[in-house]
Amino acid sequence: MTRDDALALDADDPLRSLREQFSLPAGVIYLDGNSLGVLPKATPARVQQVVQQEWGESLIRSWNTAGWITLPQRVGDKIAALVGAGPGELVVADSTSVNLYKVLSAALAIAETDAPAKRVILSERSNFPTDLYIAEGLAAERGYELVLTDEPEQIEPLLAEGNVAVLMLTHVNYRTGRMHDMGALTQRAHAAGALMLWDLAHSAGAVPVNLKGNGPEAEAADFAVGCGYKYLNGGPGAPAFVWVHPRLADRFWQPLSGWMGHAAPFEFTSQYRPAPGIARYLCGTPPVISMAALECGVDTVLAAEAIPGQGLAGLRRKSLALTRLFIELVESRCAGHGLTLVSPREDAHRGSQVCFAHDTAGYPIMQALIARGVIGDFRAPDILRFGFTPLYTRFVDVWDAVEHLKQVLDSGEWREARFNQRAAVT
Ligand SMILES: Cc1ncc(COP(=O)(O)O)c(C=O)c1O
């Protein structure tokens, strides 16, 4: 593969026009959309409109006239279309961590009623820390045991032991990019009498997700949460989303029973009466400006649907081609420099990111790359993480990024002192 070959792949790419939707800074190859998506061109104007017209001129009337009050549902329906959920089943609210607290509490409350003898929350040690911390807190509060696997192969035998109340997994692992088989694991959890909770932080907008499955009802998951600021391009700290299968949504008051989740918030009654369905998973007043920005981001993903034969399936095809090329080029052009692939080689098991471990110099190598305008990130203790957002990443970006990596490694420039000082955010 030469640079010209990469340029030819871009010229043939049916999704190439989608990059036009983004404000990408000149001279930057951005491989961190799995952490913070790129700014869509539509966002500044939309935010300005919300601030100057809807807020500045219409003031409080905008809750009705500009549809602020239904933003959590409106943006939620758009995200639902990306994760295999139906309209009216998913809302945008709070952060992923807070939504995890709500759905794990609901799952435990349901398990307590339906299967009181099951006392285990099962997850993976490699899950994102916030998921584990929320589970640790709830397990202690509710008298459950949090059991963590070290290998995905341990999940099934542990389920078979019969005491798992909730299986809580992240679909695409934040550190390795390994992707679980959602339908198969959901089915196994259900066969073992456990509820299935998915964190879609690294999936929504990047890989096709089918929460409700196509086959047997047992393949339909029970709960899901996900981030707005990664592949959904909602901006820093964008609100998150929460989905509960309609068969369960009405079964439990989620613990943060705030007024926005009330059946009739503007009746101002003194007693809580939960809204039917997913609306009860709202808590307080929605952050309107952030939600408007998130809607612009979600629209950039939905734009793939407008290209015949593309949509999320097309994005997935391109994402796999990008990550495959990156692996192939790093392994062939940067051999002998101590980089070890930690992401799965098999397409079916890989999300939209590629990670390499380096025993001693992962952090400074990444800093040297960033200084050259190739932006990925570092995850302790030893991981160089590269995210590939198919909406705006080109094949030539992959080629150029590997050329920079090769130069950083060949020259040893990462040894410079300035690349070895740890910043707060890595
Ligand atoms: C899998 C996963 N879950 C949750 C989060 C973050 O949640 P929050 O938005 O609450 O910070 C992240 C952040 O990177 C993540 O990777």
Average pLDDT, 10 consecutive residues per value, the chain (426 residues):
97 98 97 98 98 98 98 98 98 98 98 97 98 98 98 97 98 97 96 98 97 88 98 98 97 94 97 97 98 98 97 98 98 97 98 96 97 96 96 98 98 95 85
198 lines ligand 1 (CB under 6 A): no
**What integer pLDDT is reported at residue 377 of this predicted model?**
94
Strand order through the sheet with 240-244: 90-93, 240-244, 223-226, 195-199, 164-170, 120-124, 145-149
**What integer pLDDT is reported at residue 351 of this predicted model?**
98
96 lines ligand 1 (CB under 6 A): yes
**What integer pLDDT is reported at residue 68 of this predicted model?**
98
Among 36, 94, 97, which residue has the most ligand 1 atoms within 8 Å of its CB, making it the best to mutate?
97
C-alpha 162 to ligand 1 mean position (Å): 29
201 lines ligand 1 (CB under 6 A): yes
Q: CB burial class (10 A; 0-12, 13-18, 19+) of residue 72? A: buried
Amino acid identity, position 137 = G
Token code pair at residue 94: 């709070």
How many Å apart are CA 171 and CA 192, to the nearest integer?
A: 19
**What integer pLDDT is reported at residue 23 of this predicted model?**
98
DSSP states of 94-151: S-HHHHHHHHHHHHHHHHHHH-TT--EEEEETTS-HHHHHHHHHHHHHHT-EEEEESS
**What integer pLDDT is reported at residue 217 of this predicted model?**
85
Amino acid identity, position 66 = A
Whats the size of the chain, residue-wise?
426
| Angle made by CA atoms 202, 206, 212, in degrees to the nearest 5 | 80
124 lines ligand 1 (CB under 6 A): no
Atom of ligand 1 nearest to the CA of 229: 9
**What integer pLDDT is reported at residue 223 of this predicted model?**
98
Enzyme catalytic residues = 128, 199, 229-230, 385
How many Å apart are CA 339 and CA 42, to the nearest integer?
A: 39
Question: Burial code of 223-258, b = ≥16 C-beta within 10 A, e = fewer?
Answer: bbbbbbbbbbbbbeebbbbbbbbbeebeebebebeb
Give the position of tokens 């929350």.
121
C-alpha 169 to ligand 1 mean position (Å): 13
C-alpha 240 to ligand 1 mean position (Å): 9
C-alpha 128 to ligand 1 mean position (Å): 7
Q: Is the dihedral of CA 406, 407, 410, 412 positive or negative?
A: negative
97 lines ligand 1 (CB under 6 A): yes
Token code pair at residue 284: 């307080």
C-alpha 234 to ligand 1 mean position (Å): 14
Atom of ligand 1 nearest to the CA of 127: 1
Whose alpha carbon is nearest atom 14 of ligand 1?
A: 35
**What integer pLDDT is reported at residue 423 of this predicted model?**
87
How many Å apart are CA 366 and CA 375, to the nearest integer?
A: 8
Gap between the terminal Cα atoms of the chain? 32
126 lines ligand 1 (CB under 6 A): no
**What integer pLDDT is reported at residue 253 of this predicted model?**
87
**What integer pLDDT is reported at residue 214 of this predicted model?**
83
C-alpha 117 to ligand 1 mean position (Å): 31
Among 174, 178, 290, which residue has the most ligand 1 atoms within 8 Å of its CB, making it the best to mutate?
174
How many Å apart are CA 91 and CA 80, to the nearest integer?
A: 9
377 lines ligand 1 (CB under 6 A): no
Residue 84, phi-psi category: left (phi > 0), alpha (psi -120 to 50), beta (remainder): left
